[in-house]
């Protein structure tokens, strides 16, 4: 944005947090992150989302030892909801830039008896071979990237053909703007997200509204299948 006032031109440009800065922010947030997910109802909202997907048959193909990548796993709220809904014997691989988040995620999944591995990594350069996972999912990570399309392309790359990518993102709105101001993330409109997913080569794309807790005002979920 630019304004001209008299002889002066004033401009404002969005500045994204660096990877190092974002890592520091989430390292500091890790000890209280899972508690906040519960306080604001995100854990229950995630569970209801996966229950809906399971009941509709979208996740019926998943079985013991199916491989799942949770990209930006945080403290494993999304993964825990999936495992509780489908089976704790899924092989969940969690990726995050924050080592403190990864440590917390591993402890939480271990207590729940969920088979898992965690690794520190960047969403725009995932350390996996092409066509590796039966499901790739991500909750509130994509909108933190300066180039969300790059992260989306990486998640599609490591996904097996015919299997789904599931995203939960922050959507625009008053509450979304407050989250954006505090955490430095972006917000994604449903139509923008579906177009990005289509451009990345996904088909049969569907939007799923969250119906529980704080997320009903802040977030949307979107699922699409790799060709």
pLDDT in tens, 176-221: 555 655 556 678 899 999 999 999 999 999 999 998 888 888 899 9
With 80 as the cut, is the pLDDT of residue 67 above it? yes
With 90 as the cut, is the pLDDT of residue 69 above it? yes
Rounded distance, CA 87 to CA 50, Å? Answer: 12
With 70 as the cut, is the pLDDT of residue 14 above it? no
Quick one: how many helices (H) and strands (E) in the chain? 8, 9
Rounded distance, CA 44 to CA 60, Å? Answer: 21
Backbone angles phi, psi at 63, to 5 degrees: -145, 180
Please give the pLDDT value at position 16. Answer: 63
State whether residue 220 is helix, strand or coil.
Answer: strand
Q: What does pLDDT average to over the chain?
A: 90
Low-confidence winner among 28-32, 108-112, 125-129 (lowest mean pLDDT): 28-32
Position 121 confidence tier, pLDDT thresholds 50, 70, 90: very high
Report all structural domains of the chain as residue ranges with CATH numbers, in order of start: 17-226 (3.40.50.150)
Interior/surface letters 190-226, b for 16+ CB within 10 angstroms, e for the rest? eeebbebbeebbbeebeebebeebbbeebbbbbbbbb
């Amino acid at each position: 944005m630019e304004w001209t006032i008299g002889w002066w031109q004033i401009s404002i440009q969005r500045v994204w947090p660096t990877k190092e800065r974002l890592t520091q922010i989430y390292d500091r947030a890790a000890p209280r992150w899972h508690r906040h997910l519960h306080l604001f109802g995100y854990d229950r909202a995630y569970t209801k989302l996966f229950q809906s997907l399971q009941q509709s048959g979208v996740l019926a193909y998943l079985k013991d030892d199916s491989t799942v990548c949770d990209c930006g796993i945080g403290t494993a709220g999304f993964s825990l909801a999936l495992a509780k809904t489908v089976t704790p014997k899924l092989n969940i691989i969690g990726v995050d830039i924050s080592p403190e988040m990864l440590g917390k995620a591993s402890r939480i999944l271990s207590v729940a008896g969920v088979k898992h591995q965690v690794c520190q990594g960047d969403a725009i350069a995932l350390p996996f071979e092409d066509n590796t996972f039966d499901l790739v999912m991500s909750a509130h990570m994509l909108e933190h990237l300066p180039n969300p399309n790059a992260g989306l392309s990486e998640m599609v790359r490591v996904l097996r053909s015919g299997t789904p990518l599931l995203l939960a993102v922050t959507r625009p709105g008053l509450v979304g703007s407050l989250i954006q101001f505090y955490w430095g993330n972006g917000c994604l409109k449903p139509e923008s997200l579906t177009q990005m997913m289509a451009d990345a080569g996904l088909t049969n794309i569907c939007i799923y509204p969250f119906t529980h807790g704080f997320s009903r005002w802040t977030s949307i979920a979107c699922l699409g299948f790799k060709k």
